[in-house]
Structure 1
Amino acid sequence: MINFNVKNRNKIVLLLMLVVSLIQVSCGSSEEKQEYDADVIIYGGTSAAITTAVQLKRMHKSVLIVCPEKHIGGLSSSGLGFTDLGNKEVIGGISKEFYTSVYNHYQDEAAWNWQPRNEYGNEGQGTTAIDDDLKTMWTFEPHVAENIFEKMVTDNDIKVIRNKWLDRNNGVELLDGKIVSITMLTGEKYTGKIFVDGTYEGDLMAAANVNYHVGREANSVYNETWNGVQKGVYHHSHNFQELNISPYVIPGDSTSGVLPRISTAPPGEQGSGDNRVQAYNYRLCTTNAEGNVVPFEKPKDYDPAEYELLRRVFKGGRYSMFGGGEIPNHKRDVNNVGPFSSDNIGMNYEYPEASYEERKVILEEHINYHKGLLYFWGHDESVPERFRKSIKKWGLAKDEFQDNNHWPYQIYVREARRMIGDFVMTENEILGRSKVDKPIGMGSYTMDSHNVQRYITKDGYVQNEGDLGVDAEEPYQIHLGTILPKQKECKNLIVPLAVSSSHIAFGSIRMEPVFMILGQSAGTLAALALDEDIDIHEVSYDELKEKLIADGQVLSY
């Protein structure tokens, strides 16, 4: 038995009190939620969020990115490497810098580790992949894009706090028409003078009670032709057209039930509006380079009956598998092609407004559908043997998305919420019928909508609807008001992705080079407002225009 004298006992008591005190302090500090402050808070880690932050740092403003993503860059670093481009001459500023960085990367022979450079060819989407005159490159591997965005962040000393999810129900504090702070589900609070919604979904915009639209407006709303329901319009090959395929389990027998992934709801009147959303998919990075192939796996709960409609497409003589285009190192950016492909038509309608938990279920469904499609192509006996043999040589790229089982981090959110802001871009501006008096950038891509629904025609056949491609005769200007909420709704929020536009106009604006352009313009606008201590709506357009042009933005063509 150890004998403690009074002196030692007092020391021990004091020591225990100190330990308890330290534990209490430690517990208190771990429970205390952190607070962050910057001139500008950007929520989201997309390509536009990065260019916004870079521009703000160049204009000597403090900025902080807080985002749900662990990997920044959005679709540009998540599989969309065969760039939706349009006219490359109207891509300027930081957006062009990104594609110059891609060019510089592939000038190094060491970058061609799975393929000699001289074997690659030079085909991009509607242009050359490698442009030696402009020093730009428009095709690239996902990890290359992500590394470039990470270097932008590092070189400009931009703080990015990742894996943080906005409390969409109670996390936006508003006072006198301004956002004061945003709070994450984990309790961290971010305070700023100006906020930027850098998400594809427009989550911050919606949580701030800014007006927005989901789905297609009727043509009558903005005096358009291509916006609403477009039955019988076949601009691409992504429709059944003359195949006359029965939608029923027993062909021709409507009492036998309807095949999976076909809606039994009426498609709507021609030109009418609805709340349907164009289809999403994943832009896979696939390869056939020996040593870099991860075979396509059979998904859990694989059900070949899900793909019966594709069997009937094959019987009708249509064989389409891989869309998209070639990117360096024997890889392919895979996109939807044909009437039944990776676009999961009709399964994303709830996504824009869904909770995080509901979105996770939707994403899992899309992943399982897509994996099942890949497995079907390689193994189902309805697929001609030559195609089965061919696809088995392909797989996911082992050196891409390595911490996500080589699957892209980001689903292709082609469209979600769209703000109803200071100015609504419509097909009339895209097609040059109406002029834009305050341009902050330019677009040029086709007004492109993927299919919105798969329905049963009056004649009893299956058909897709909503797939459009309407070309503008020349590049068009994008109005300042497309990134601004109405002043009465919010005075300090800028929205460079879920921009104010009709469904069909958004089909052109929504391209990654344009998002990066709008991100830079958003950063410029915010910085000028901070310089003059005024609201973003009060910044002189002439002053904004002068700065945009000085920083390489293209505002006219």
Structure 2
Amino acid sequence: MKLTHFPNTFLILALSLLWIFPGCSKKPESYDLVIYGGTAGGIVSAISAAREGMSVAILEPSEHVGGMVTGGLGRTDIGVWQTIGGMSAEFYQRVKKHYDDPAAWKFQTRDDYLEKNNLVDRLAGSEWWYHEPSVAAKIFNEMLAEENLEVLTGYRLQSVDKAGARIVSLSCENGTTFSGKIFIDATYEGDLMAMAGVSYHVGREPAAQYGEKFAGVLPWEYTTRKQWDVDVNPYDEQGKLLYGIQDVERGEVGAGDRKVQAYNYRICLTDHPDNRVPITKPDNYDPSRYDLLARYVKVRGGLPVNKTRDSWGFLNYGMLPNRKTDINDGGPFSTDFIGMNWDYPEGDQATREAILQEHLDFTKGLLYFIGHDPRVPEATRNEMLQWGYPKDEFTDNGHWTPQLYVREARRMVGSYVITSHDIETNRTKEDSIGMGSYGADSHLCQRIAWEGVVRNEGNPNDFTPGHNPWEIPYRSITPKKEECENLLVTFCVSASHMGFASVRMEPVFMIVGESAGLAAKIALDGGFAIQDVPYKLLHPKLVERKQKLKLEDVKGH
């Protein structure tokens, strides 16, 4: 769905004229704060700053606003729920208020949903963590409207103008320029950060760089999560690797590389007949893309549609209200398009669009394959055919999410680098702006042939500590001062691969986003470089906003 609020008709008319007559005016739009990225974190940063009286522009390069929160990730990655405070908690409280209204339940009752999915206790608090994509969009629209904020979609970054270590303005491909006093990069890719000349890293650091046990290339004994539970031949009859297997060496254990954890789409389906659009054969469908999966099913003797506690599945269903799903990766061959995203983080727009299309073709084709390919057992095919796309979701995009789940791209190398040590042992910080708690979660980074069988590598989640609160330092969202003095980075924060594996969750993105908005206001009023914002001024604002800042704020942890 398109989530955009435009309160100022005259501004839009002016911008429209610039599109039609790009040479008629070069005067930039000027704001206290310019946010690049209309993600959940970007929206919350904007609202946070607007509530402090700042003028704010939010620029979104795509036509979709809300990022993953409105893009299908409705089964929220919570971790320890008591760590979620501030506007992040406010958002999920508004979700609860929505579902407390009986009118919200169009295709099942509230009690039916809670009882069938064993969620009575999990959703018993003041927040509601599971939501439909359209509900998240509705709530963000309401929050934006309350602050008279606008989100401009289709504003893709083209260049950044700097004076010394300060960004003066940014220009977009449509010919518009926005000047600002403070800037925030709230994208999943870190494009503004990179274009501003801020240091960053892509891929996995060597284990020795920060002394992290699970950094770099993993030994096989540490990659048991979503590993093949039977031996499958990776080669076709001509001795060529099957589709989806990378023709690369694993790499030396502990070595760093440029490989990135897998992306996927979080898929919203429904089994309600009155709200179901059939899954038809997609454009560019090629059944040979799933030869490896078919071979796995044959060797294994079948595979359930949905992952269970005892078995991998084709898919991993998380049930949302109104008989909808948030489908995630369910096994060694599922919705994660392993190894097919390595060129995405630093790719130009053409490269990224090609990768997006490959992910789309693969994922829609996978759903069709499960329901129609004769190599899938008939009972499994029939079960899959009970599902379809929801008529009332993503109505402007063919009932399919426009948001690819970019779990990780660039990561800033800034004033402080979060590592696994900050998550596990060094959990307190003198400049905490919120807390993370989700156990380090890295999806697989590569799928290769190894000694005549298929192996996946890159997911140590069976061995990393579980959910545990830890304090996020303000320094982790600030670049090095000599590189940029007026930029905050709220998703591609300064973290190692294993540190980022915890901080990347959407509720934390919103926590960090709100704190960044407050820091921007203090920097503006005091004339401070972002790195010099006094914590003694920031801390009272964080407390006022009900952010959870210290371990002692979370009982039992």
Say yes or no: TM over 0.5: yes
Gaps of 5+ in 2: 1-17, 304-312, 552-557
Do residues 461 (structure 1) and 449 (structure 2) align? no
1:347 is paired with a residue of what secondary structure?
coil
The one-letter code sitting in structure 1 at the alignment partner of 2:486 is N
Do residues 409 (structure 1) and 397 (structure 2) align? no
Q: CA deviation at 1:399?
A: 0.6
Assess, with a 3 A threshold, how the Cα gap between structure 1 residues 78 and 236 changes in structure 2: closer, same or farther: farther
Match among 521, 535, 543 for residue 529 of structure 2 = 535
Match among 212, 233, 237 for residue 246 of structure 1 = 233
8 Å CA contact 1:82–1:125 kept in 2: the answer is no
8 Å CA contact 1:430–1:472 kept in 2: the answer is no
1:334 is paired with a residue of what secondary structure?
strand
Match among 280, 288, 299 for residue 282 of structure 2 = 299
1:354 is paired with a residue of what secondary structure?
coil
1:497-536 correspondence to structure 2 within 5 Å: 497-536=491-530
Task: Tell me how far apart the structure 2 counterparts of residues 129 and 191 of structure 1 sit (CA, whole Å).
Answer: 45
Look at both structures and tell me which one has the larger radius of gyration over its CA atoms: 1
Do residues 175 (structure 1) and 163 (structure 2) align? yes
1:353 is paired with a residue of what secondary structure?
coil
Deviations 1:419-445 (A, max 9, x none): 000000000010024643321110110
Q: CA deviation at 1:544?
A: 1.0
1:383 is paired with a residue of what secondary structure?
coil
- What TM-score, normalized by structure 1, do the two folds share? 0.91
Q: Which residue of 2 aligns with 1:139?
A: 130
Q: CA deviation at 1:188?
A: 0.4
Task: Tell me how far apart the structure 2 counterparts of residues 50 and 175 of structure 1 sit (CA, whole Å).
Answer: 27
8 Å CA contact 2:438–2:503 kept in 1: the answer is yes
8 Å CA contact 2:205–2:257 kept in 1: the answer is yes
Task: Tell me how far apart the structure 2 counterparts of residues 406 and 366 of structure 1 sit (CA, whole Å).
Answer: 16
1:79-478 correspondence to structure 2 within 5 Å: 79-121=72-114, 128-131=121-124, 133=125, 135-167=126-158, 171-233=159-221, 237-241=225-229, 243-250=230-237, 256-317=239-300, 319=303, 320-433=313-426, 435-457=428-450, 459-469=451-461, 470-472=464-466, 474-478=468-472
Q: Which moved more, 1:56-65 or 1:433-442?
A: 433-442
Q: Which residue of 1 aligns with 2:483?
A: 489
The one-letter code sitting in structure 1 at the alignment partner of 2:59 is V
8 Å CA contact 1:77–1:145 kept in 2: the answer is yes
8 Å CA contact 2:225–2:459 kept in 1: the answer is no
8 Å CA contact 1:71–1:146 kept in 2: the answer is no
Deviations 1:206-244 (A, max 9, x none): 000100000000110101011211131456651114x11
Q: CA deviation at 1:300?
A: 2.1
The one-letter code sitting in structure 1 at the alignment partner of 2:269 is T
Q: Which residue of 1 aligns with 2:554?
A: none
8 Å CA contact 2:276–2:388 kept in 1: the answer is yes
8 Å CA contact 1:82–1:124 kept in 2: the answer is no
Do residues 479 (structure 1) and 470 (structure 2) align? no
Deviations 1:333-392 (A, max 9, x none): 001111101111111100011111211111011000111111110011111111100000
Deviations 1:108-163 (A, max 9, x none): 111000111111026889994523x3x11000000000111111111011122211
Task: Tell me how far apart the structure 1 counterparts of residues 222 and 275 of structure 2 sit (CA, whole Å).
Answer: 38
1:75 is paired with a residue of what secondary structure?
coil
Q: Which residue of 1 aligns with 2:543?
A: 549
8 Å CA contact 1:82–1:324 kept in 2: the answer is no
1:309 is paired with a residue of what secondary structure?
helix
Q: CA deviation at 1:322?
A: 2.3
Q: CA deviation at 1:466?
A: 0.7
Task: Tell me how far apart the structure 2 counterparts of residues 233 and 493 of structure 1 sit (CA, whole Å).
Answer: 41
8 Å CA contact 1:441–1:518 kept in 2: the answer is yes
Task: Tell me how far apart the structure 1 counterparts of residues 30 and 240 of structure 2 sit (CA, whole Å).
Answer: 58
The one-letter code sitting in structure 1 at the alignment partner of 2:179 is T
Gaps of 5+ in 1: 1-24
1:486 is paired with a residue of what secondary structure?
coil
1:436 is paired with a residue of what secondary structure?
coil
Q: CA deviation at 1:310?
A: 0.5
Task: Tell me how far apart the structure 1 counterparts of residues 522 and 117 of structure 2 sit (CA, whole Å).
Answer: 37
Q: Which moved more, 1:156-165 or 1:97-106?
A: 156-165
Q: CA deviation at 1:481?
A: 1.1
Assess, with a 3 A threshold, how the Cα gap between structure 1 residues 248 and 410 changes in structure 2: closer, same or farther: same
Task: Tell me how far apart the structure 2 counterparts of residues 26 and 82 of structure 1 sit (CA, whole Å).
Answer: 39
Assess, with a 3 A threshold, how the Cα gap between structure 1 residues 524 and 324 changes in structure 2: closer, same or farther: farther
1:310 is paired with a residue of what secondary structure?
helix
1:403 is paired with a residue of what secondary structure?
coil
Count residues with an aligned counterpart. 523
- Amino-acid identity (%): 43
Q: CA deviation at 1:494?
A: 0.2
Assess, with a 3 A threshold, how the Cα gap between structure 1 residues 137 and 124 changes in structure 2: closer, same or farther: farther
Give me the CA root mean square deviation. 2.0
Deviations 1:16-57 (A, max 9, x none): xxxxxxxxx998687434621110000110001011011101
The one-letter code sitting in structure 1 at the alignment partner of 2:380 is F
8 Å CA contact 2:418–2:495 kept in 1: the answer is yes
